[in-house]
Amino acid sequence: MTDATLTTVAPSAPPVAAKRPSSVTHHGITVTDDYAWLRDPSYPEVTDATVLAHLEAENAWFEARMAAQQPVIEKLFTEMRGRIKEADKSVPQKDGDWLYWIEYEEGAEYKKWWRRPVGASDDGSADELILDETTLAEGLDYFQLGAISVSKDGRLLAWAVDDNGSERFTARVKVIATGEVLPDEIPGTLSALVWVAGDKALVYSLANENWRTDNARLHWLGQPLASDVELYHEDDEGFRVGSSLSANEQWLIIGASDHETSEVRLIPTDNPLAPPVLIRARQPGVEYDVDERDGTLFIHANDTHENFRLATAPLSAPGEWTTLIEGSDEFYLTGFDLFRDFYVIEGRERGLDHIEIRYYDDPTKIEPIRFPEASYEASVADNPEWATDKLRLSYESMVSPATVYDYHLGEQRLEVLKVQEIPAGYDATLYTTERLEIAARDGTLVPVSVVMRKDRDTLGAAGALHLYGYGAYGIAISPGFSTARLSLVDRGFAYAIAHVRGGDDLGRAWYKAGKREARLNTFNDFVDVAQALIARGLTAPGRISIAGGSAGGELMGAVINSDPGLWGAVVAQVPFVDVLATMLDESLPLTPGEWPEWGNPIEDRAAFELIRSYSPYDNVTAQAYPPLMVTAGLNDPRVTYWEPAKWVAKLRELKVDHHELIFKTHMGAGHGGKSGRFESLRETAEEFAFILWQLDVKP
């Protein structure tokens, strides 16, 4: 199957979906849905000939309308690719007796994973290829590497692959030195692969028939899967289970959580069949995560403050928590990392990333790590060794390419190890970036990150501005660097990120102010940011392109219903637009786990009415809509393909304008679209070409 029907004659009109009325009634309210038939009853298999024919017809219309833009797409793709160093590799990182790194070869879509012994020559003679994604992906339309894990003794490699976008991975194990793939094969995983019991066993989680990880299982190498042991089973269908190792690798950490409650158990890695140690029984609304050092537990929890505290407890009394770092209105404590001689805390202050070193033996000794810019994205990178005197960090800003640092603790010094190379050239002095605070309609100040060329007014884009937003699940959108973004900015666009409520950019309260009963704040913030940028002279109504994916696609759907005249072009990637129907269907993979985020409309009439009031699909009306490009993945388990398909069908039926409405379903991919670094880049080029076309900006 391909992404478009192969026809000799392009279609002359968009497809019209048949109307087959169906209805559901909840709380005495009946909701009619004319396009519910687009959900194949055999899902997750999609075999219904009528459904497939409709999706193929939409793909054919997409290809027909974008045909004239192919030279622009190719031009954009070429320049985007020209900013990527094709033959590139990461900075090697020490882990035990080996240095590990990943490498791309010229023209390759996928990575190779390498290592060499510590102290060996770097001339390539001692390099050892441990996994070749390029070879694994040969002949596949889709390839995604999931978990990858080297055994503690460095002898074995476990990895997992998804070859169709369904996010059900098959795990395998091989002997690194010989390349021998062991007979152990675990299909249907959706988890990390954690080595335990002296590298004799792996801990993993299976996705059940509803794509929910409700288990942690132990597989002994060389034994049949039927003999695998379930270490933990989660009975609450809204919770998901995941496993990891403590920093000192002495404990298996099994966590169960939904979007607002969590529970953690520890099992010694040398005895994975030992009874689990429950840290603290779940309490609704309390989230926590745990690590351990020398018999002391460190707990990152929001039980006393919504912005989290860091507490400690003796392993012998894991539920007795004593505060080490208090929760704070000003500082949002997002996480921590333990090492043998020190620990690291990460967080945000006024939305700005903050990293500091602290010491076990001297609580007063605090070392904040300073960075050179006023607005940036910084994080602790991969630091696998328990005993170390330096810390690997990642850094970037909207004008500064990605940088890898080592922070040397003894000297309190940042060492630059690598700066992202842009072969086509990049001059940061040509650009300007700022962080604005814009008052929403209720007076709340919403942060907005903006980047543009200093000579923007001379580039001929006539006030074009691209506005990006997400605003859900407490996910912050950091002001990072993007080489692809330059293809808009260098044509005169201003590029803005609206840090709307629903993300946790300004702390946990910011997240709560955009979820459930406060959901409308997210949509209002985005519109109010756009209006303010117009008022500041950065753009004008109809000169704004907007984009968002998944829950950000829900945002796109909501704001084109409420304020269609503001937007000149809209890209909605795998958009979560059929919110009411999805939240009413507890058989869908994510629904029970999503109720803490959106509300449960099955049991709660108020939640039903609120979701119905903003769900983009349920609020399409007979009005003019802006030009719209929509994408979906046939195998997407997160936002099922029929959500955007139904939405587009209803828009085609009701909208009263002649603006473009094009819809593409990736017939062999999932939530993330096509795999491969260049194939995914081509999709970005396609989206940007659509934006330039609709805003009439010279390509």
Give the model confidence (pLDDT) of 457-478 as tens digits. 999 999 999 999 999 999 999 9
| pTM of the predicted protein model | 0.92
Residue 188 burial by Cβ neighbours in a 10 Å radius (0-12, 13-18, 19+):
middle
Neighbours of 584 (CB within 10 A): 19
> How would residue 8 be classed by pLDDT, with cut points 50, 70 and 90?
low
Active site residue 550: yes
> How would residue 346 be classed by pLDDT, with cut points 50, 70 and 90?
very high
What's the confidence (pLDDT) of residue 613?
A: 97
Decide if pLDDT at 375 tops 90.
Answer: no
Question: Would you kindly state where each structural domain of the chain is located, as residue ranges?
Answer: 22-81+425-694
Decide if pLDDT at 181 tops 80.
Answer: yes
**Which of 14, 13, 90, 34 is closest to 404 using CA atoms?**
90
pLDDT (tens digit per residue) in 615-669: 999 999 999 999 999 999 998 888 899 999 999 999 999 999 999 999 999 987 6
- Dihedral angle, C-alpha 445, 451, 455, 461, nearest 10 °: -90
Q: Considering the chain, what is the average pLDDT of its residues? A: 95
Tell me the residue ranges of DSSP E strands in 574-694: 628-633, 661-666
Decide if pLDDT at 251 tops 70.
Answer: yes
Please state which of the ranges 350-354, 371-375, 608-612 shows the lowest mean pLDDT: 371-375
Active site residue 22: no
Q: How far is CA 682 from the centre of its chain?
A: 19
Decide if pLDDT at 137 tops 50.
Answer: yes
**Which of 619, 461, 618, 424 is closest to 544 using CA atoms?**
461
What fold does the segment set 22-81+425-694 form as a domain?
A: Rossmann fold (3.40.50)
| Residue of 219, 259, 666, 671 marked catalytic | 671
pLDDT (tens digit per residue) in 403-416: 999 999 999 999 99
Decide if pLDDT at 197 tops 80.
Answer: yes
Decide if pLDDT at 586 tops 70.
Answer: yes
What's the confidence (pLDDT) of residue 274?
A: 97
pLDDT (tens digit per residue) in 520-564: 999 999 999 999 999 999 999 999 999 999 999 999 999 999 999
113: left (phi over 0), alpha (psi -120 to 50) or beta: beta
End-to-end Cα distance, the chain? 32
What's the confidence (pLDDT) of residue 670?
A: 60
Please state which of the ranges 39-48, 59-68, 667-676 shows the lowest mean pLDDT: 667-676
DSSP 430: G
User: What phi and psi values does residue 434 have, to the nearest 5 degrees?
Assistant: -150, 160
What's the confidence (pLDDT) of residue 673?
A: 60
- Answer with the residue of higher pLDDT: 44 or 22: 22
| Residue of 214, 228, 353, 636 marked catalytic | 636
Give the strand pairing for 22-26 and 29-33. Answer: antiparallel
| Residue of 478, 545, 550, 615 marked catalytic | 550
What's the confidence (pLDDT) of residue 44?
A: 85
Q: How many helices (H) and strands (E) does the chain have?
A: 12, 39
Amino acid identity, position 338: L
